[in-house]
Amino acid sequence: LPEHPSRVFSSASLGKAAFRARGVRPPNIEDGKLLGRVMASFYAGKVECRVVGRGVVDVAVLDFTSQYPSLFCLLRAERFLTAQSIEPHDSTEEVRAFIDSLTADDLLKRETWENPLLWTLCEVEADGEILPVRSPYSMKGDAPTIGWNHVKTEAGVTLPYLLPDVIAAKLLGGNAPKIVRAVSFVPIGKQHLEPISILGTEVGAEDNLILRLSEARIHEKSEKRAGWEARALGLK
């Protein structure tokens, strides 16, 4: 990657360098206020193994390998990363119906994760539902961190959450918060991208960058050729 070592501050610096080398530019979103609400709704990832009561009711075997990249691919996030622009549209009634009908079994189906509605910002009123909240959780004056709490909003106040967190609230407590408004996002067009090579892995202009690197990492770990550990770590 054409990035000077003095400009590499963390692994995130390398990721950004890869995007620049491909020619990826932030897609245009004209509504600055909406963009601010989207940023406020970002709570990153969460992994949890939950046992209810004293017994295990149901079990599903899941693969946690490369979990973030796997979710990136399941949600088809590449479309947004490489879009020329992103357009919002109101989807309140459609999202309410989707949440009401959604079951735990649906979340084991690939088509559920590929549903365009997953890319929705929800303005919600909460009445005890379990949702992520940024807050200082001690009396020491520590910086705010994220915890999952029973949340109750004041009258007339809404909080922004992306739809996957609203779905999680339904799974955790049996009910989703009241969706006052929902705005879904649609990627428009596609940027012109350049092919790149990372640690011997060729990524074509039409390839899904994250998928390609994830598959290459798994291949390195299975083949175990000379120097594979360093390459696998670098691809991660």
Render pLDDT for 166-212 as a digit per residue (tens, 0 to 9). Answer: 999 999 999 999 999 999 999 999 999 999 999 889 999 999 999 99
Range with the poorest average pLDDT among 4-8, 72-76, 116-120, 124-128: 4-8
Q: Which residue has the higher pLDDT, 51 or 234?
A: 234
Q: 90, 95, 91, 179: which is closest to 129 by C-alpha?
A: 179
Q: For residue 53, what pLDDT is reported?
A: 63
Assigned token pair, 165: 């967190």
Q: Name the band, by pLDDT with cuts 50, 70 and 90, for residue 55.
A: low
Instruction: Kindly report the pTM of this predicted structure.
Output: 0.86
- Does pLDDT of 65 surpass 80? no
Q: Name the band, by pLDDT with cuts 50, 70 and 90, for residue 236.
A: confident
Mean pLDDT of the chain: 89
- Does pLDDT of 57 surpass 70? no
